[in-house]
Amino acid sequence: MDAIRFHVEEIRFAERNVALRLPFRFGAATVTACPQVYVKARIRFADGRTAEGCAAEMMIPKWFDKNPALNNEQNFEQLRFALRDAREAYTAEPDAQTAWTHFASNYAALQSRARAKGLQPLVASYGPALIDRALLDALCLHSGTSFAAAMSGNLCGIDIAGSGLADDLAGFDMPAFLAKQSPRSRIAARHTVGLADAIDEYDASPDAPSDGLPTTLQAAVQRYGHTHFKLKLCGNTAQDIDRLQRIARVIDGQAQLVTLDGNEQYADADDFATFLDRMLSTPTLWKLAQKTVFVEQPIRRDAALQRDVSLGKRIPLLIDESDASLDAFVQARALGYTGVSSKSCKGFYKSVINAARCAQWNAALEKPRYFLSGEDLTMQAGIGVQQDLALVAWLGLSHVERNGHHYVNGLAAAPEAEQQALLRAHPGLYETSDGAVRLAIREGQLDLSSLNAAPGFATGKPGAGISWDAMRSVY
């Protein structure tokens, strides 16, 4: 299909506070509540017609910028700056552009302005990541097409050759790559075990909520039938080994696949090697180690890409926080990393580019080595999780980290009318239980069939049933 050019006429932001039912600890940070931002964009076509689209994302503190001197509100303000800066850039463009060129023509300038303010590249990516999703939603709704069909037909107009953003893909046949993608109808929900999580009833907190939902790993496995798991590491080898042994006692008979997430907690490769040696030589962790397919970002970002990681020959290593720029995966590959995360807060174009790189690099190998993995940032039920699931389904991933259903009480923060609208639109993806509409995870799997068919970027209609008047418009 032909890429359509348009002007970005207006972009608005609104926020909704989300309280976590359980504290989520990753690395040195513990989150109990934070805002979720919603984006509404209006675009105008050459014939004067307009269309609106939307997107949503949590504003997780202490991930985009882990500077301990910053408080949570300062972290939120960093992300708000990124949103405002991207809005100013996109709406100021004098000429109509494709969805891709709106992104590509602003990428370098937005990164540069953020850097001048002392902001991390991940912060700078947050604004365009949400706006690009809202723009594509509007474009798909205008065209009456689903996200999967739009991506496979390159409705965005992705053109690497003329962008200067991924020169290593200059000779890659991107249209052919896009066209051959076929979205999955089901995907495994890889359950996150945070550092503050209770493992079983013996260490359950007396302060745990009595809302009918699981409060321990053991209870979550029993309720949702999880077979895929993501286990957080704290960076202290003795503590990590002890905790993994307790986790293994619960999941060894259930787990089909495990990933570990270091969240930058190991100082360097040597420090992480000490942990890996202990893990692989601990008899009670043998089954868990055999099912561990990769370790995510074990080394802090300021050191992760400074030297070769020979450890990558022992166990696949994936970059996440170090995936701060469009060429980060290329740099990481040269050092021995083989994986990279797909995360909606970094931008779906980055996921597409990195998936194309995996395809190009693996084509020259007898056995595929390079991979993309779907990761979460406490993605919430509603438009945020729908768009992320539509992306990983189209990319063909078989599992994706999902944690919002465990740490947050579904759509309880949204008005009843919004909850019911989403349930009607996606009856296989959601269910009503324990007083709220929430993700329906059965035998560890999510049903994505309605997302693949829905017009728009997994929204189904303008506004996606969101109760915009129930949120605060702050900027």
Contacts of 174 (CB under 8 A, 6+ apart): 154, 158, 159, 160, 356
CATH (residue range 7-169): 3.30.390.10
Architecture of domain 186-470: Alpha-Beta Barrel (3.20)
Q: Name the residue among 383, 374, 349, 353 with its Cα closest to residue 467.
A: 383
253-278 pLDDT per residue, tens: 999 999 999 999 999 999 999 999 99
The strand pairing partners of 439, in sequence order, are: 430
Give how far the C-alpha of residue 160 lies from the chain's centroid of Cα atoms, to the nearest Å: 23
Instruction: Give the pLDDT of the chain (475 residues) as one tens digit per residue.
Output: 899 999 999 999 999 999 999 999 998 889 999 999 999 999 999 999 999 999 999 999 999 999 999 999 999 999 999 999 999 999 999 999 999 999 999 999 999 999 999 999 999 999 999 999 999 999 999 999 999 999 999 999 999 987 889 999 999 999 999 999 999 999 999 999 999 999 999 888 888 999 999 999 999 999 999 999 999 999 999 999 999 999 999 999 999 999 999 999 999 999 999 999 999 999 999 999 999 999 999 999 999 999 999 888 999 999 999 999 999 999 999 999 999 999 999 999 999 999 999 999 999 898 899 999 999 989 999 999 999 999 999 999 999 999 999 999 999 999 999 999 999 999 999 999 999 999 999 999 999 999 999 999 999 998 888 999 999 877 6
Identify the residue whose tokens are 């999955």. 184
106-164 pLDDT per residue, tens: 999 999 999 999 999 999 999 999 999 999 999 999 999 999 999 999 999 999 987 88
Q: How many angstroms separate the CA atoms of 135 and 141, rounded?
A: 10
| Side chain identity, residue 151 | M
Question: Residue 334, class by beta-carbon neighbours within 10 Å (0-12 exposed, 13-18 middle, 19+ buried)?
Answer: exposed
Helix (H/G/I), strand (E/B), else coil: 13 = strand
| Domains of the chain by residue range | 7-169, 186-470
DSSP classification of residue 130 = H
Helix (H/G/I), strand (E/B), else coil: 186 = strand
Q: How many angstroms separate the CA atoms of 369 and 380, rounded?
A: 31
Altogether, the residues listed in the chain come to a count of 475
Q: How many angstroms separate the CA atoms of 235 and 312, rounded?
A: 18
Q: Which residues of 32-57 are buried (b: 16+ CB within 10 A; e: fewer)?
A: eebbbbbbbbbbbeeeeeebbbbbbb
Where helices occur in 159-236 by DSSP H, the ranges are: 174-179, 217-224
Q: How many angstroms separate the CA atoms of 207 and 432, rounded?
A: 25
| Side chain identity, residue 379 | M
Identify the residue whose tokens are 């300021």. 302
Q: How many angstroms separate the CA atoms of 184 and 50, rounded?
A: 31
Whether 7-169 and 186-470 share one fold: the answer is no
pTM, two decimal places: 0.97
> What was the pLDDT predicted at 146?
97
Q: How many angstroms separate the CA atoms of 351 and 167, rounded?
A: 16
Contacts of 108 (CB under 8 A, 6+ apart): none
Q: How many angstroms separate the CA atoms of 132 and 55, rounded?
A: 9
Contacts of 379 (CB under 8 A, 6+ apart): 57, 58, 344, 385, 388, 402, 403, 404
> What was the pLDDT predicted at 464?
86
Farthest CA pair distance, the chain: 68
Q: How many angstroms separate the CA atoms of 61 and 220, rounded?
A: 25
> What was the pLDDT predicted at 34?
94
Q: How many angstroms separate the CA atoms of 61 and 73, rounded?
A: 8
> What was the pLDDT predicted at 202?
87
> What was the pLDDT predicted at 463?
85
